[in-house]
Structure 1
């Protein structure tokens, strides 16, 4: 009988002792020990096993639980390795910032004071040690009882390492989980600069030139090294999902998925699991989303659906995309349709500058798991990557987001009436609602750029995205003697097929709206764009010219 599946338990000991199913990632211990860097940062998307891996490291190395923890690794890969001799050999500090989410700087500092108090309470036995001086005990007591000054809070981790070294006469393994959560929260809530200074002091005092540290691993979603949090740390090595190091230690590999499917009678579902939850690339290795795969296997009666996407509010992602310029929104449309976009990726994300340039959003989406890289090149010291949407789960998220942009400015009922009017050929009703739609929504799409016609094109494609259940919506494809702008192809060939041609006119142009429409309709006829529809056996064909002048729009047939 297979073991139980757990989703959300990130305590390694709890998983083992309760006989939950575990993918063996214990060779992370070997790679961690053998890496030449003293301090290692491994940014990965949320819910890809970062906390569980750090918990495993804690139970492996912790000198306080040497004997009771040894059995946790029985039968795991690390037990066969020479590095197993380090089991239970070091004092360990494990601290997570995952809950440091506050709306103000004062609340943030108070939250850090509580967190450090809870951390110190785990080491209360050393408080009375004769190895600590009276000054040491006073510092310890102030942190533990939440009486410490801000300056002492920033030194709390480094001082605890010093206390543990004095107590055990051994250097300390330091594990910090979700180190960047306070950074993102400070950015979103408006106290970024103060918070960065505070976090810099905490991490620098713990990691920079610390004589009491054996090795350290930090995890988070973003690298954010340019924040100067890690300035001057020559002993820090960063391995993002673009690097090969630790590439198979977070998320599930194909081999692990094959075994999972076998163990839980889902071999016949592997291809569907791949479509929904595969597609990530870490250091050249294909990786499945562990949260979604385990959620599906645990709840197979609910079917394949988004799990990872729905496990968080995704506020920052939504904010960045909704604030994106016309090029960002147009390229997002391309990504949803399975196309590749090529972008320069900066894995040193700077939260303060992330919305200064719309193109920064692609680096953020890649590092946070909302895109994947297919191919990368190092050009003048920077990675240039081919980017795609990783899987169906993420694609659905983007589609829903685009629909929400439009729904925010127009009731869903009117939206559905407008689309129904279009596909049934009621152009008078469609035009009236479409004009309202443009007026209310065009602010989302900046038309002041170099290619305003492309903006309108992307706008209409976004509007049509919910048709894709019963229709295929194509854009810029060859048919007849040219390339049409948009074609709506019914999957039932007894229904209406639609060809759209866009024209954008400016004040300085001689053409009137009527003249531009005539030219657009003539182009459809002369270039025989209907050839593709005729080939598919569609007999009813509607040809439309959509002419824009600023926010003024007219539809002609």
Structure 2
């Protein structure tokens, strides 16, 4: 039975304790050819630390005797490069550096981490170095210089691995108020970062900048041969560039698109084994792959490939649960990734950010930029104007948007990668429009009624009374049926019960010639079909008040049957029914007798009334 290494990021442990491992060692040769000082970015929990651990074990001269054990059965072991086990390896992990307290404590925290890393290095390689390394407890730069001197007098060279370079954590004090100062997190705070603390870390001759200047200097014939840096985003890069302007970006290159992450063929292969271990029918592997594709696939980091990859952490979360219980997890989003919602919240609070978040969810018009921003200074994050390119690029680096295609004029089109990330957008928009907890509870109860009985009236009454009034206070010149779809999606989204908004999944089938799918498709998840839940298909239409020849006041007063009988409303209902009838055929062809389908034509008359016509 396979052992899935969820949350284990130590390559040595994975291999020696026989955990499941998707072989990425064939990329080592490509990494060597790419350059000597490299920067590689990927979203949180995307396998970056394991990647660095793989490199450490491959190049470490102290593990030469274990090369066959660690790599003999892997791709690189069949044809290793001459550089394997030829380096002294030092690792700095900035994710563990705290910057709590006063400025002097910020300095000391970084010095202590670097000194600990250098001290461990000295102990590990003491038999290979001509003399001992001197550790200066107050000045890690001095300690590093001492290590370089010792290395320079040896027959070896240094390979420096820097993990999460942009992830120094802590708090910045602005008067009595504090907020997270992780370079990737601090911009989500509601207060400004203190200028002195910013300068201490990054600008001018700040500490981090000095560290990277020293690294650059060390690579000029002073014992440092290679550097590999990982991170989440290019935040901080512009602040340290003048001190360290030699790193080559490889994170957008085609050959490294799948360096972290799983291919669909790899997921399919391991699912076959899990299905066998669970003694389930072989065809269940295809069902499980469909679920995983919908919820976890969809990431693309290079605009020169169409290959989509799976989030590795979410994939291992699912596989470990599935193997243990022989059924899918009820909650498809691993709680460890839930904090990515904060990034969406940050963007939504910027001028124009709310529309970016809405457009991302609606995908019409698509989010498109000419180029992804590749440098974000912390000062820019705090003080500069944030345009669409800035917002979209940041969401891309955080993994809540991904590359989709190119527009007709060559723009990069970005989209939400999959259903678990879509959930984060839905929750943010729901929080924006329904900030009151009582309203959220009422909407949940109305949604529950629809799931169980197919009755949409309680939900429509709630939306008219509570949700639509939000739009009275906003100037949504772009409001149309997509906005109505978003309203329904935010109150009906339930990943535990349904595969939601699954038009892209259905488009993978043989129905390319049919009209575009309905606005909202809710298919009961396989393991939930034992409950009396309805499959739901909703087509939304928007009718502005002038086209209906009504005022808002008149629309609210008009009897629902009279409202439904208006010619303009009837035309919209007929248009909607025509779409639903055609799309019903697609669903029945795909799911057959499993469906308990209810279809709904929904016409919003302004943001005042909802007219619904339903069919079994």
TM-score interval (norm. to shorter): 0.7 to 0.9
CA distance in 1, matches of 2:65, 2:601: 77
Q: Deviations over 1:476-498 (max 9, x none)?
A: xxxxxxxxxx9899997999998
Could you tell me which residue of structure 2 aligns to residue 94 of structure 1? 91
1:346 Cα shift? 2.0
CA distance in 1, matches of 2:228, 2:423: 34
Q: 1:277 aligns with which of 293, 296, 312?
A: 296
Task: Say if 2:158 and 2:225, in contact at 8 Å, map to a contact too.
Answer: yes
Task: Say if 1:132 and 1:163, in contact at 8 Å, map to a contact too.
Answer: no
1:41 Cα shift? 0.5
Task: Say if 1:62 and 1:91, in contact at 8 Å, map to a contact too.
Answer: yes
1:8 Cα shift? 0.9
1:209 Cα shift? 6.1
Tell me: CA distance 1:39–1:544, structure 2 relative to 1, closer, same or farther (3 Å): closer
Tell me: CA distance 1:344–1:554, structure 2 relative to 1, closer, same or farther (3 Å): same
Could you tell me which residue of structure 1 aligns to residue 589 of structure 2? none
1:395 Cα shift? 1.9
CA distance in 2, matches of 1:404, 1:524: 33
Give 3-state SS (helix, strand or coil) of 2:543's partner: strand
Give 3-state SS (helix, strand or coil) of 2:436's partner: coil
List aligned pairs for 1:355-434, cutoff 5 A: 356-359=385-388, 360-376=390-406, 384-411=411-438, 412-416=440-444, 425=457, 430=461, 434=464
CA distance in 1, matches of 2:538, 2:73: 63
1:45 Cα shift? 1.6
CA distance in 2, matches of 1:50, 1:65: 21
TM-score normalised by structure 2 residue count: 0.69
1:10 Cα shift? 0.8
Q: 2:214 aligns with which of 196, 199, 205?
A: 205
1:186 Cα shift? 4.6
Tell me: CA distance 1:238–1:524, structure 2 relative to 1, closer, same or farther (3 Å): same
1:308 Cα shift? 4.6
Q: Does 1:5 align with 2:4?
A: yes
Q: 1:287 aligns with which of 283, 299, 309?
A: 309
Give 3-state SS (helix, strand or coil) of 1:280's partner: coil
1:307 Cα shift? 3.8
CA distance in 2, matches of 1:72, 1:536: 56
Give 3-state SS (helix, strand or coil) of 1:91's partner: strand
Could you tell me which residue of structure 1 aligns to residue 487 of structure 2? 463
Q: 1:454 aligns with which of 478, 490, 495?
A: 478
CA distance in 2, matches of 1:264, 1:489: 29
TM-score normalised by structure 1 residue count: 0.76
Task: Say if 1:132 and 1:166, in contact at 8 Å, map to a contact too.
Answer: no
Task: Say if 1:225 and 1:348, in contact at 8 Å, map to a contact too.
Answer: no
Task: Say if 1:280 and 1:288, in contact at 8 Å, map to a contact too.
Answer: yes
CA distance in 1, matches of 2:88, 2:126: 15
Task: Say if 2:92 and 2:117, in contact at 8 Å, map to a contact too.
Answer: yes
Structure 2 unaligned regions, length at least 5:
169-182, 277-284, 503-517, 524-533, 582-597
Give 3-state SS (helix, strand or coil) of 2:345's partner: helix
Q: Deviations over 1:460-512 (max 9, x none)?
A: 544322236799999xxxxxxxxxxx98999979999986524499xxxx996
Could you tell me which residue of structure 1 aligns to residue 576 of structure 2? 532
Q: Deviations over 1:21-76 (max 9, x none)?
A: 111111232222222x2210010122222111111111221223332455322222
Tell me: CA distance 1:186–1:415, structure 2 relative to 1, closer, same or farther (3 Å): closer
Tell me: CA distance 1:310–1:225, structure 2 relative to 1, closer, same or farther (3 Å): closer
Q: Does 1:501 align with 2:543?
A: yes
Q: Deviations over 1:148-200 (max 9, x none)?
A: 0xxx34x2574255144135243211110111112224545635623223222
CA distance in 2, matches of 1:308, 1:488: 24
CA distance in 2, matches of 1:541, 1:377: 32
List aligned pairs for 1:7-406, cutoff 5 A: 7-35=6-34, 37-83=35-81, 85-100=82-97, 102=99, 106=103, 107-125=105-123, 131=130, 137=134, 140=135, 142-143=136-137, 148=138, 152-153=139-140, 155=141, 158-159=144-145, 161-166=147-152, 168-182=154-168, 183-188=183-188, 190-191=193-194, 193-194=198-199, 195-197=201-203, 198-208=207-217, 210-211=219-220, 212-224=223-235, 226-231=237-242, 233=244, 235-240=246-251, 242-265=252-275, 267-268=285-286, 269-283=288-302, 284=305, 285-300=307-322, 301=325, 303-304=328-329, 305-308=331-334, 310-314=336-340, 316-324=342-350, 325=352, 326-335=354-363, 340-350=366-376, 351-354=378-381, 356-359=385-388, 360-376=390-406, 384-406=411-433
RMSD, matched Cα: 4.4
CA distance in 1, matches of 2:474, 2:455: 27
1:250 Cα shift? 1.2
CA distance in 2, matches of 1:473, 1:253: 23
1:97 Cα shift? 1.1
CA distance in 2, matches of 1:306, 1:361: 27
